[in-house]
Homo-oligomer: A and B are copies of this chain.
Amino acid sequence: MKHAATFSAATAGSGGTVGLVPTMGFLHEGHLSLLERARAECDTVVMSLFVNPLQFDREDDLRRYPRDLERDLRLAAAAGADVVFAPEVETMYPEPPLTRVAVATLADHFEGPHRPGHFDGVATVVAKLFAGLRPDRAYFGRKDAQQLAVVRRMASDLSFPLEVVGAPIVREADGLALSSRNVFLDERQRAAALALNRGLASAADAAEAGECRAARLVELVTAALAQELQLDTEYVALASQDTVEPLEKLDRPAFLALAAWAGPTRLIDNVHLDASGDGFAADRGIRLDHPSVLYEGG
């Protein structure tokens, strides 16, 4: 596996179809599942690893974002990556970047208003990775459902000749969606955080049983979250998969999404609801049957 610090080093010698897995590092099985899928579908697998300052709206969040390059290189190699592109900030932004890529309206709701500038930062850095690495496929998890919609629309609007692949959420054995930020949770916060998946799962059951009123689906999630004093709910909402507009009714591919704070740590989760026969089928994600690599010692 090659460890590259520049775009030209990352692309040198790659052949055939190139699969890109963009990450901010501190890998977990969510990232590894993307790498394994890319490995199965592409000739060359490139993982980018860059904690992108442009997409952080809070300085403290950027500062404390977990980082461990040696660990990430080891995990990426084991999952089949051919290249890890891990540039320094000075390489990605040798001058203060004046160029911004913005996807109008898709950032108007949910994560957007709570994280000013976040999606412009995401769209800009992903456009840069697409431009500089020229992948044929790019893999993103459905955990960041709004981000996936923004990236898809950006790639299509700008005519990048690539396929954006969205993959199921990977969950810990008890249902908590994997996130590099999970390592910040203390024991009580960790226990409370299970309400996220519990609420979404009961809403998924209701949706599959024919419930299509957004208010009712949201209520099922809100009720589960309200049982945990350790949690502070930011939003729960049903959104169109493609336009990320709030829906009153489940009548098209959608995701039921939430954000909640467990102490100083912000968590997000969602369940994807896709048309299936006369109704809707939920993507509840994939559950690990073992502890996540997140909790392995150094």
CB within 8 Å of B: which residues of A? 7-8, 11, 92, 95, 97-106, 123-124, 127-132, 134, 153-154, 157-161
Contact = CB atoms under 8 A, between A and B. Distances in A.
A13 to B, nearest CB: 14
Nearest to A7: B159
B154 A99 contact: yes
Contacts of A129: 159
Contacts of A101: 99-101, 127, 158
13 contacts: A7-B161, A8-B161, A98-B105, A98-B106, A100-B101, A100-B104, A101-B158, A128-B158, A129-B159, A131-B158, A131-B159, A132-B161, A134-B134
Contacts of A153: 98-99
Given A98-B106, A98-B157, A101-B101, 17 more contacts: A7-B159, A7-B161, A92-B159, A98-B104, A98-B105, A98-B153, A99-B101, A99-B102, A99-B103, A99-B157, A100-B101, A100-B102, A100-B104, A101-B127, A101-B158, A124-B158, A129-B159
A131 B130 contact: yes
Contacts of A159: 7, 92, 128-129, 131-132
Nearest to A133: B159
A42 to B, nearest CB: 18
